[in-house]
Amino acid sequence: MTRPKNDNFLRALLKEPTDRTPLWLMRQAGRYLPEYCETRKRAGDFLSLCKAPDLACEVTLQPLARYDLDAAILFSDILTVPDAMGLGLYFEAGEGPRFERPLREEWAINNLTAPDPHEHLGYVMDAVRTIRKALDNSVPLIGFSGSPYTLACYMVEGGGSKDFRHIKAMLYSRPDLLHRILSVTADAVTAYLNAQIECGAQAVMIFDTWGGSLSNAAYQEFSLAYMQKIVAGLHQTWEGQKIPSIVFTKGGGLWLEKIAAIGCDGVGLDWTVDIGDARRRVGDQVALQGNLDPNVLFATPEKIAAEATKVLDAYGPGNTGHVFNLGHGISQFTPPEHVVALVETVHGYRR
């Protein structure tokens, strides 16, 4: 298997020289694009869109048709894994994700098992194969999963939460139960990411959106340890190509050295850290991905260019090791034409 024609994203993660700083945007296929909203309407709703491989492929490619992006990311959601574990995922209009059966009782936690991704998440595998074929080796395809702790937040809370009181009560009063959830979920995520790699994903990313809500000690015990286990279990290479992995803990700036030490190739940064400081701390060990504040995209094109340049300048010289991205997902209210200014600035920049 050969590398894609534009493999700058993979090169940057593997610390090989690049022609330019590669970029992609978290949630690049989403509601800020009118064509996405149109396809979602045809699918009926968000989950039906995730479960229809041809439509998931269509929306994956939409941002690439508009912008000169250096990677595609599988269109899906992190919550498909707990759905496959039997929790009953649904989306309440305007309310975000919900589970019919939140995971709180000891008997239910003891009965939890890791789903076979080929059997229970076959629609995701079909989407990965369809997207890889449609990309025709133009740019790499990123597969992804939630981290065990972030998935457990939704599983135990039963949906999004502001205070995480159910999962934190469990963490402090019945840590054995939370460890059991995390252990099964880590096995599920390892199998799921490996299946995505087998079906064509050329890099994988773990989204640890809520790890940053933990105390220093709890982060290491309940989030990082399980991500380390996953990274150790991933296919290192597939069809002769190295498969880089990226770990992104939102709010994880205090723990960069610890994250960089778990064996991943890249560390995602949110916008609260200076990427130059991050490079001085861990840049000899890992590549860095990030980290423009997504809200910069509400400013004028001139300001967007200036802020993106600040991130590039802060990273500093050397034509590798940096994948430009936002510090979190792009907002649904972003004017699509503002993204052009960002892409042109990043690609026009010479270190």
Catalytic residues: 27, 31, 40, 77, 154
73 pairs with which residues across the strands? 142
Binding of residue 46 to ligand CP3 (CB under 6 A) = yes
Regarding 30 and contact with ligand CP3 (CB under 6 A), the answer is yes
Q: Would you say 77 or 187 has its CB closer to ligand CP3?
A: 77
Identified binder of ligand CP3 from the candidate list 44, 88, 96, 348, rule CB under 6 A: 96
Contact partners, residue 11, CB within 8 Å, separation at least 6: 17, 18, 22, 320
How far CA 17 is from CA of 3, 278, 318, in Å, comes to 15, 20, 8
Q: In this structure, how many other beta carbons lie within 10 angstroms of the beta carbon of residue 199?
A: 22
Residue nearest ligand CP3, CB atom distance: 209
Sequence letter at residue 130:
T
- Structure tokens belonging to residue 316: 């500093």
**Residue 40 within binding range of ligand CP3, rule CB under 6 A:** yes
Selected binder of ligand CP3 within 144, 226, 255, 315 (CB under 6 A): 144
What are the b/e assignments for 257-277, b being 16+ CB within 10 Å? ebbbebbbbbbbbbbebbbee
For residue 37, give every residue at least 6 positions away whose Cβ sits within 8 Å of its Cβ, in sequence order, or none.
31
Q: Which is nearer to ligand CP3, 75 or 99 (CB)?
A: 75
Cβ-based nearer residue to ligand CP3, 146 or 290: 146
Site for ligand CP3 in 304-343 (CB under 6 A): 329
Q: Which is nearer to ligand CP3, 27 or 51 (CB)?
A: 27
Is residue 222 part of the contact set for ligand CP3 (CB under 6 A)?
no
> Is residue 44 part of the contact set for ligand CP3 (CB under 6 A)?
no
- Kindly state whether residue 31 participates in binding ligand CP3, applying the rule CB under 6 A: yes
Q: Nearer to ligand CP3 by C-beta: 79 or 305?
A: 79
Judged by CB under 6 A, which of 6, 209, 291, 334 binds ligand CP3? 209
Distance, CA of 168 to CA of 213 (rounded, Å): 10
Segment interacting with ligand CP3, rule: CB under 6 A, options 22-30, 102-110, 190-198, 298-306: 22-30
Is 160 a binder of ligand CP3 (CB under 6 A)? Answer: yes
Q: How far is the CB of 24 from ligand CP3 (least distance, A)?
A: 8
Give, for 325, the enclosing helix (H) or strand (E).
strand 322-326
What b/e string do you get for 287-298 counting C-beta neighbours within 10 Å, with b at 16 or more?
A: bbbbbbbbebbe
Q: Interface with ligand CP3 by CB under 6 A: which range of 25-33, 121-129, 294-302, 319-327?
A: 25-33
- Distance in Å, CB of 314 to ligand CP3, minimum: 23
Distance CA 77, CA 56 (A): 11
Of 296, 293, 245, nearest in space to 269 by CA: 293
Max CA distance (Å), the chain? 58
Among 12, 13, 23, 26, indicate the residue that binds ligand CP3 (CB under 6 A): 26
Backbone angles phi and psi of 125, in degrees to 5:
-65, -40
296 binds ligand CP3 per the rule CB under 6 A: no
Sequence-distant (6+) residues with CB within 8 A of 81 are 115, 121, 145, 146, 151, 185, 188, 189, 192
We find the least distance from the C-beta atom of residue 159 to ligand CP3, in angstroms, to be 8
Q: Strands (DSSP E) along 61-123, which ranges?
A: 72-73, 89-92, 96-99
Smallest separation, CB 210 to ligand CP3 (Å) = 8
Residue 185 found at the interface with ligand CP3 (CB under 6 A): no
The SS3 of residue 166 is helix
Q: Does 192 bind ligand CP3 (CB under 6 A)?
A: no
Exactly one of 28, 39, 190, 291 binds ligand CP3 (CB under 6 A); which one? 28
Query: Site residues (CB under 6 A) for ligand CP3?
Result: 26-31, 40, 46, 73, 75, 77-79, 96-97, 144, 146, 160, 207, 209, 329
